[in-house]
Amino acid sequence: MANTQVSASGVKRIGVLTGGGDCPGLNAVIRAVTKDAIYNGIEVMGIEDGFLGLIEDRIRPLTIDDVSNILGVGGTILGSSNKANPQAYPVGKNADGSIKFKDLTDVCMTHLNLHGIEALIVIGGDGTMSAAKPFADRGINCIGVPKTIDNDLWGSDITFGFQTAVAVATEALDRVHTTAASHHRVMVVEVMGRNAGWLALHAGVASGADVILLPEIPFDLDIVADYCIKRSQRGKRFTIICASEGASLKGGKQIVEKIDPTSPDPIRLGGIGKWLANELEDKTEIESRYVVLGHVQRGGTPVPGDRVLATLFGDHAMRMLHLGKRNRLVVMQNGQLADVEITSAADKQRLVTRNDPLIEAARSVYTCFGD
């Protein structure tokens, strides 16, 4: 039997949406929120494709059947969008060819009122939380649940999706290891992470990568090349490099793959793997190859740790709603569930520090960080 509780919020109907890029564990949060709400007499409306569903009025009821058997399913049953910021929605082009943006907050509020939605459970990263603020300012209680495979949300020690991405990247590095050894190559595996190196660091350590390149530690190409040569001279005729997409040379800039002016986060990094493999082959005369994992890291079945964490986050979001708390963001701090103001993480990133214990442990086993 469900463990029902008396809600101090008085809310009768909530909306739930997933914004930004997808990641494993989103469905686990939707499941936890929906079941808790319904068992406590609160109706749940699913908003499709993040804030885009609010703009276009694509909102539908969620039932227990809708969220049954989705705990281990990757992605999100509601869909998502990383371009639909209601406060700056692209609606065409200006006379000079630049993107024309329009504030559609009023349109979204009309749709929220039309469906009788009194509170929103917003699942996403810092951009999603920032987009929720105008609705909070207009009286809609917004409870945030953080997700990102980059693990870079300020204020939370971990976010769901990260553990699955680490597992996927680690398996890829393990597989590359055997072919690198067979062909005596330098193999560069480029992983996601933007400006934070958590994914590269954890997957690199877990796989025993020889070189780990992080955005937080600009690298010297000569040091990396010399490391590869010395390994070969010692009889280790291959080198595995785990490179974050945001890694850069000392005094250099990150490699930008594309700029999308319609996106709230227009800069898309990528290309460090290819560039590094080409440069190292020229410098070392060791055959070098690269692999870009890309969106493979976002997909697939969430590992048990992410299913558990996402369920805990969803449960805590509903507890805050029941207690009448307003405009809060679920976080994990020192192993304990907590909550902070929903926009406290906006325009901030939790980065790897140079004295992180995992970096120190990696250095102790002769892992190179290019510095």
The residues that are catalytic are: 150
Q: Are 155 and 344 in contact (CB under 8 A)?
A: yes
DSSP-based three-state secondary structure for 248:
coil
User: Computed over its alpha carbons, how large is the radius of gyration of the chain?
Assistant: 22
Q: In 3D, which of 155, 236, 257, 247 has the Cα closest to residue 204?
A: 247
CA 298 to each of CA 51, 75, 114, 148: distance values in angstroms, whole numbers, following the listed order: 20, 8, 34, 9
Q: Are 228 and 194 in contact (CB under 8 A)?
A: no
Q: How far apart are CA 89 and CA 102, in angstroms?
A: 5
β-sheet bridge partners, residue 256: 269
The DSSP letter of residue 353 is: P
DSSP-based three-state secondary structure for 204:
helix
Angle CA 294–296–299, to nearest 5: 130
Q: Which residues contact 48 (CB under 8 A, 6 or more apart)?
A: 58, 59, 60, 78, 79
β-sheet bridge partners, residue 338: 331
Total Cβ atoms within 10 A of residue 234? 8
